[in-house]
Amino acid sequence: MNNLVIQQHNHFDFEKLSLGQPTALSNDSYFTKILYNGESLYIQTLKSKTKQGITKSGKKFFCDIVFDNNSEEAINWFEKLQDKCQQLIFAKNAEWFVGSLERNDLENAFNSILKTFKSGKYYLLKTNIKKNIQNEAIPDIMVYNENEEVLSYDKINMETEIVSILEIQGIKFTTRSFYVEVGLKQIMILDQNKLFNNCIIKTEKNVVTREPIDLEKPTLETIDLEQPEEPHLEKPTTESDHLEQPTNLDNISITHFDDNALEQNQNIVGDLDLENKEQENDLFDLEIEDLDDLKEEKNNSVPLKLKEPNKIYIDLYKEARNKAKLAKKNAILAYLEAKNIKNTFMIDNLDGEESDFDEEIAEVSESELENL
């Protein structure tokens, strides 16, 4: 048996699959066995869970195995198995079925092996379990723990992690549907991760080791200090030292300032001050004139005024009246055109239809246009 159980899903050779001869069942259904190298096909699943453990419906036992999105290897394997089963059924088209079976019809009638669950987060694989021959009230299945000790099947719940042995039994089909039968043969319950049942937090304590430090006794040396020499300071020279004293007072020339020149300079300075004051006065006058202009503009500006409500309604009435006149004019022109056609071609009243309207046409005259 161990040699027939497939564990490496990625290296599975689907070309070795074949179908046995179909056998008739009740309710116009048939069953064909799936064979791998001519033998029954058993596979070992990856770690998974169950939807509700092992359940009983009527006289049969079932178990919905749950794969999450991380079980890509198992999901891809079952999808490839379904495609291969469709190919094998279609190859038996002429031999097993009356008439031609289209591939699209076969794919539409084929029930998916895996069903999505909880918005596609999980995939369900429905498996059947045989009844115990000696006691039909319990399923015929062996349940073990990781120590290979036998456990009761009621230990399995929706939180239990398991590894199971499945038998890909065959394909059950009718004239309208096809679905793959999968049997559950054995279950191993995996130990729960009890990592956090005990304290696993470790704290590191920094231990400081105090060791005596040997300090060398410093050696004292005698240092001879030499007497510094006194610096030689030179007497600073001043400007007075560099000034030459006149030897003869008669050679000194003294410049005399004229009183007239001083008076002339004072007049020039006075003229400049007067010009500056005049310019300042001119600027002040300009500023005053600008302010006056602004006041005049402000006084001359027309204040905003809203229309009175009656004036608004009068304007609306005039606009509507003009539109009515234009519409009436166009209507009179249309009446005159109809009247002209009637008189030109001598058209009488048409069997009394719209006689009132014909009378209105006859009463319209061009004089009405003059009043508009």
The pLDDT value given to residue 250 = 46
Q: Which two tokens stand for residue 56?
A: 């009983």
Measured distance CA(260)–CA(135) in Å, rounded? 152
Domain end position, chosen among 131, 161, 192? 192
Indicate the DSSP class of residue 131: B
Q: What does each C-alpha distance from 181 to 74, 110, 261 come to in angstroms?
A: 17, 12, 135
CB 42 within 8 A of CB 185: yes
Q: Looking only at Cα atoms, what is the longest distance across the chain? A: 160
Q: Of the candidates 50, 30, 51, 34, which has an alpha carbon nearest to the alpha carbon of residue 42?
A: 34
Judge whether 39 and 20 are in contact, CB under 8 Å: no
- The answer to whether the predicted template modeling score (pTM) of the entire model surpasses 0.95 is no
Task: Report the DSSP pairing between strands 162-173 and 122-129.
Answer: unpaired
- Is residue 23 in some structural domain? yes
Give how many domains the chain has, as a whole number: 2
In a domain, 247, yes or no: no
At 273 the pLDDT is 53
User: Which pLDDT score, from 0 to 100, does residue 333 have?
Assistant: 85
Domain end call among 173, 192, 211: 192
What span, in angstroms and rounded, lies between the C-alpha atoms of 196 and 138? Answer: 35
Looking at 133, 162, 192, the residue that finishes a domain is 192
Q: How far apart are CA 68 and CA 120, in angstroms?
A: 9
CATH, residue 87: 2.40.50
Label the pairing between strands 150-151 and 122-129.
unpaired
Please check whether residues 335 and 187 belong to one and the same domain: no
The residue count of the chain comes to: 372
Distance between CA 70 and CA 361 in Å, rounded? 89
Determine the 3-state secondary structure of 114 from DSSP.
strand
Q: Three-state DSSP class for 338?
A: helix
Which range of residues forms the domain containing residue 181? 2-192
Judge if 28 and 170 occupy the same domain.
yes
Q: Is residue 134 part of a domain?
A: yes
Shortest CA distance to 166 belongs to which of 90, 87, 113?
113
Note whether 188 and 318 are same-domain residues.
Answer: no
Same domain, 21 and 167: yes
Q: What is the chain's pLDDT, residue by residue, as a tens digit (372 residues)? A: 555 788 867 889 999 999 999 999 988 899 999 999 999 999 999 999 999 999 999 889 999 999 998 899 999 999 999 999 999 999 998 888 887 788 998 999 999 999 998 888 999 999 999 999 899 899 999 999 999 999 999 999 999 999 999 999 999 998 889 999 999 999 999 988 766 777 777 777 665 556 666 655 555 555 555 555 555 555 455 444 444 444 444 444 444 445 554 455 555 445 545 455 555 555 445 444 444 554 554 454 444 444 455 666 787 788 888 898 888 888 888 878 887 887 787 776 555 555 666 666 667 676 766 666
Those residues whose C-beta lies under 8 Å from the C-beta of residue 42, and which sit 6 or more positions away, are 1, 4, 5, 6, 165, 166, 167, 168, 185
Angle between helices 309-344 and 355-363 (to 10 degrees): 100
31 and 163 housed in the same domain: yes
Other Cβ atoms within 10 Å of 177 Cβ, number: 12
Rounded to an integer, what is the distance from CA 76 to the centroid of its chain?
29
**Same domain, yes or no, for 170 and 315?**
no
- How many Å is the Cα radius of gyration of the chain? 60
Both ends of the chain: CA-CA distance in Å?
Answer: 112
48 DSSP β-pair partners: 162
